[in-house]
Amino acid sequence: MPMTGQVHGHEVMRMMVEAGRGFTRDTLRAAIVERFGEGMRFFTCSAEGMTPDELIDFLAQRGKFVEAGDGFTTEPEKICNH
User: How confident is the model over 6-22, as pLDDT tens digits?
Assistant: 999 999 999 999 998 99
What would the pLDDT profile of 42-60 be if each residue is shown by its tens digit? 999 899 999 999 999 999 9
Q: What is the pTM of this model?
A: 0.85
Nearest residue to 8 (alpha-carbon basis) of 60, 56, 45: 45
What domains are defined for the chain? 6-78 (1.10.10.10)
Q: Checking DSSP bridges between strand 41-43 and strand 6-8, what pairing results, if any? A: parallel
Per-residue three-class SS string for 7-51: EEHHHHHHHHHHHCCCECHHHHHHHHHHHHCCCCEEECCCCCCEC
Task: Report whether 79 contacts 36 (CB < 8 A).
Answer: no
Task: Report whether 37 contacts 2 (CB < 8 A).
Answer: yes
